[in-house]
Structure 1
Amino acid sequence: MHDTSSVRSAPPEDSRSLKRVGVAAAVVAIAAVAWGIHARHHSDAELADWTKAQSVPTVAVVKPQSEAGTGALVLPGNVQALNSAPIYARTNGYVRKWFVDIGSPVKPGQLLALIDAPEVDQQLAQARADLQTAHANEALARTTATRWSTLLAKDAVSKQEADEKQGDLAAKAALSNAQMANVRRLVALQGFTRIEAPFAGVVTSRSTQIGQLVTAGTAASQPLFTVSDVSRVRIYVRVPQSSSGQIKPGLHVTLTLPEFPGRNFDAVLTRAAEAVDQQSGTELVELQAANPDGALKPGAYAQVRFPISGTANAVTLPASAVIYRSDGTLAAVVDAQGRVKLHQVRIGRDSGDKLEIVAGLTAADQVIDSPPDAIQNGDQVQIAKDAPADAKH
């Protein structure tokens, strides 16, 4: 007989292999679960960080530029003719002919246009006839009054009747004077059919045509011509209050115009308004410059350079970095912790794309360019990596 006990007690080989596979599978499953939990936690953390980062706005900042050492105050100016007269019709009629056009030089009293006014001609003829009638009545009243005065001296008539004749003479004389004044008025009105230049200059506008009906004294009337004296020009500049103390009559300044690059024009400050405009905080000043070649045109824009220094400790800032609110003019400054601090600023001069800030900022501040409308004190922001370091000039 064979002993089978030892064979039954030993586990088969395939059973041991199955156990090892099961253990390995359990380990893999546990590792997969652990990895999934870790990946999910990591994704949640990344999402939280991304959400937090997105909730903090990214802003571009600029640094104000110091004005120290500029040595000049540059402001925009408006060029105007020394004298400019819009010429209107003073009588109703039709344009018969015009003799000058834009750009034509004219002399004082030169004929610009003729107007046909038949109604005025007829009124003048009637007034002259009425004047002759008044003169005839006055002559008759004078003769009658003289005769009654002679009869009164002989007691041939009563004093009452003589006084009545003298009174009639006075009334007829007054009527003659009134008719004479009417004739002179119509003669002057007829003279307005000749449109003449009031002074020497250049015709800068013409808005009339042959046969055009012109009506005097109405709100819709347009000037037939505009004559401007451009031998000299006036330049009007608004100077900030902070610099107005350095501006005095007789000061020579330099003008530059965009159509003449590299050319400078000399002008002299002639007068100042001696008052500060409450809305703009500036004082209006007038400059004058000779214009022998007509290069300075009325209505032109010019850059005016005053040989004075800017405001002490002033800085320049892009106009887009300034916030205008009901509580004042502000600039949003970012501190080292990325927090926003709204600074009250005071503007000196406005050059269009940039502003002079005379109070409220320093050159070391980081100012948000084009800040959001809803930005407030204490807001957290992050600075864009490619943000410009300085305000451009």
Structure 2
Amino acid sequence: MSQHPSPDPDDVGGFSKAQSDPHGAADAPVRTIRPWWVGVTGIIIVVGAVLLVVRGISARAHTETALAVWTNAQAVPTVALVEPKADEQERQITLPGTIQAYYAAPIYPRVTGYVKSWSTDIGAHVTKGEVLARIDTPDLDQQLIQAQANLASAVAGEQLATVTANRWSQLLKSQTVSLQDQNEKISDAIAKQAAVQAAQANVGQLEAFQRYKNIVAPFDGIVTARRVDIGDLVSAGSAGSALFQVSDVQKVRIYVQVPQAFASKMQPGLGATLSLPQYPDETFRAKLVTTANAFDEASRTVQVELQADNQDDKLWPGTFTEVSFTLPAASHVLRVPATALVLDANGVRVALLGNGDKVKFQTVTLGRDLGDQAEVLSGLSLSDRLIDSPPEWLSAGDAVKVANRAQ
């Protein structure tokens, strides 16, 4: 049996190290030949690693970009829009008013004296010319007697002067007296006639005052005040208090102070309803007749006058009343939600959505507070888009997103 020698580890491809050396040098290094797929595998691994690194960097950049976009989107607030609405409803306002008599006359004495008697008390219905009180005037009586005596003396003097002037005119014809003397007598007669007229005027004045000894009602009405009693000393003139006050209450006047915001609606003919505390279940009708056409500078209100019939005498002068007006809808008045208002140091404003979804603020003038709504008298139009419940940190020029843009 033949035996094969075991392969030498240094024998590669059937050749020994010594045989593979072209120079035959026994100590030369031997080069190892590797398969081709080993290099390809290494290249693939390197390329894969590079691709993984590039993909990771790209994913991270994409994530950072998305995060930045999300962060910016979160920084832009989302708001809801509301639109102002025209006020198409009639408005009712209730204001305090005061009832006054249609005519009211305080009666003062025209002569000085003592109250002799009075015949009517408060609440009495009187007619024009009816005697309310009588005044005893001893001083006036004596002055009248003296004036009458002076008149009699003046008449006697005037008669004598007239007779003398006539006699001297006859004597002048016979040239018994001079022309100068005759002219003096005529002038004296004329002066005496003037004295008579002055005395007559004085007597007439005192007689006129005599008629004021009786205090009478100036018109039909009710005695609403009496401030006199028997024996009181009264003086002529209006320095003291009135003796009586007579009021005509068949029709009454109602005076109301209306705020400036509603003054343009106060036109003659506007109806109103009166409510009185003493008649809680009853109302009375009144009609506006005129306005003062001027505002009170302190309160910025205008006084208006209404009139109401008072045939049943329930509307007393001086009564407090609540006056309710029903006003037609105002075309310039808009209604907005109360949540759209911004109240700060700049006043009352609203946040509007402007061009490019940018915020702008507009100052407005408010009317009535309607609870969840408010009236805007100026500063808005129906085309404006209001931001509802704007955040406190929102500033003019900020960009916003609209939540209900589809609407």
TM bracket (short chain): 0.5 to 0.7
Instruction: Work out which of the residue numbers 278, 284, 289 in structure 2 matches 1:259.
Output: 278
Shift of 1:314: 7.8
Which residue in the other structure is 2:242 paired with? 223
Is 2:253 the partner of 1:234?
yes
Classify the secondary structure of the residue corresponding to 2:91. coil
C-alpha spacing 1:249/1:150, structure 2 compared with 1 (3 Å): same
Which residue in the other structure is 1:118 paired with? 138
Q: Is the 8 A contact 1:273 1:285 kept in 2?
A: yes
Query: For residues 277-356 of structure 1, what are the structure 2 equivalents within 5 Å?
Result: 277-309=296-328, 312-313=333-334, 341=345, 343=347
Classify the secondary structure of the residue corresponding to 1:209. coil
Which residue in the other structure is 1:109 paired with? 129
Classify the secondary structure of the residue corresponding to 1:264. strand
Instruction: Work out which of the residue numbers 156, 159, 165 in structure 1 matches 2:185.
Output: 165
Quick one: which amino acid aligns to residue 239 of structure 1? V
For residues 105-159 of structure 1, the C-alpha deviation after alignment (integer angstroms, 9 at most, x for no partner) is: 0000000001111110111011101100000001111111111122223332222
Quick one: which amino acid aligns to residue 307 of structure 2? Q
Shift of 1:305: 1.6
Aligned-partner Cα distance in 2 for 1:310–1:280:
25
Shift of 1:309: 4.5
Quick one: which amino acid aligns to residue 244 of structure 1? A
Q: Is the 8 A contact 2:114 2:231 kept in 1?
A: yes
Query: For residues 88-99 of structure 1, what are the structure 2 equivalents within 5 Å?
Result: 88-99=108-119
Q: Is the 8 A contact 2:109 2:238 kept in 1?
A: no
For residues 320-366 of structure 1, the C-alpha deviation after alignment (integer angstroms, 9 at most, x for no partner) is: xxxxxxxxxxxxx997xxxx64737978799xxxxx99679x9x99x
Q: Is the 8 A contact 2:90 2:326 kept in 1?
A: no
Q: Is the 8 A contact 2:101 2:316 kept in 1?
A: yes
**TM-score, reference length from structure 1:** 0.63
Is 2:247 the partner of 1:243?
no
Shift of 1:236: 1.1
Shift of 1:70: 6.0
Quick one: which amino acid aligns to residue 269 of structure 1? L
Q: Is the 8 A contact 1:240 1:349 kept in 2?
A: no
Aligned-partner Cα distance in 1 for 2:267–2:208:
46
C-alpha spacing 1:172/1:357, structure 2 compared with 1 (3 Å): farther
Classify the secondary structure of the residue corresponding to 1:250. coil
Quick one: which amino acid aligns to residue 142 of structure 1? T
Quick one: which amino acid aligns to residue 81 of structure 1? A
Quick one: which amino acid aligns to residue 210 of structure 1? I
Aligned-partner Cα distance in 2 for 1:175–1:310:
75
For residues 195-225 of structure 1, the C-alpha deviation after alignment (integer angstroms, 9 at most, x for no partner) is: 0000000000111111111112363x11110
Aligned-partner Cα distance in 2 for 1:74–1:177:
64
Which residue in the other structure is 2:91 paired with? 71
Query: For residues 364-379 of structure 1, what are the structure 2 equivalents within 5 Å?
Result: none
C-alpha spacing 1:334/1:307, structure 2 compared with 1 (3 Å): closer
Which residue in the other structure is 1:34 paired with? none
Classify the secondary structure of the residue corresponding to 1:262. strand
Which residue in the other structure is 1:390 paired with? none
For residues 66-122 of structure 1, the C-alpha deviation after alignment (integer angstroms, 9 at most, x for no partner) is: x98462122211111010011111111111111011100000000000111111011
Aligned-partner Cα distance in 2 for 1:194–1:177:
28
Instruction: Work out which of the residue numbers 155, 158, 163 in structure 2 matches 1:135.
Output: 155
**TM-score, reference length from structure 2:** 0.61
Is 2:206 the partner of 1:186?
yes
Aligned-partner Cα distance in 2 for 1:297–1:207:
19
Which residue in the other structure is 2:32 paired with? none
Q: Is the 8 A contact 1:266 1:289 kept in 2?
A: yes
Which residue in the other structure is 2:219 paired with? 199
Quick one: which amino acid aligns to residue 257 of structure 1? L
Long gaps (5+) in structure 1: 1-66, 318-332, 351-355, 366-377, 379-393
| Identical-residue share of aligned pairs (%) | 46
For residues 176-213 of structure 1, the C-alpha deviation after alignment (integer angstroms, 9 at most, x for no partner) is: 11111111111111111100000000000111111111
Aligned-partner Cα distance in 2 for 1:341–1:259:
45
Instruction: Work out which of the residue numbers 214, 225, 234 in structure 1 matches 2:234.
Output: 214
Aligned-partner Cα distance in 1 for 2:299–2:306:
20
Q: Is the 8 A contact 1:72 1:310 kept in 2?
A: no
Query: For residues 11-90 of structure 1, what are the structure 2 equivalents within 5 Å?
Result: 69=89, 71-90=91-110
Aligned-partner Cα distance in 1 for 2:194–2:213:
30
Aligned-partner Cα distance in 2 for 1:150–1:346:
97
Q: Is the 8 A contact 1:334 1:341 kept in 2?
A: no
Q: Is the 8 A contact 1:240 1:348 kept in 2?
A: no
Quick one: which amino acid aligns to residue 308 of structure 1? L
C-alpha spacing 1:195/1:277, structure 2 compared with 1 (3 Å): same
Aligned-partner Cα distance in 2 for 1:244–1:292:
30
Aligned-partner Cα distance in 1 for 2:157–2:216:
39
Give RMSD over aligned pairs: 3.2
Q: Is the 8 A contact 1:255 1:267 kept in 2?
A: yes
Aligned-partner Cα distance in 1 for 2:189–2:366:
77
Q: Is the 8 A contact 2:257 2:302 kept in 1?
A: yes
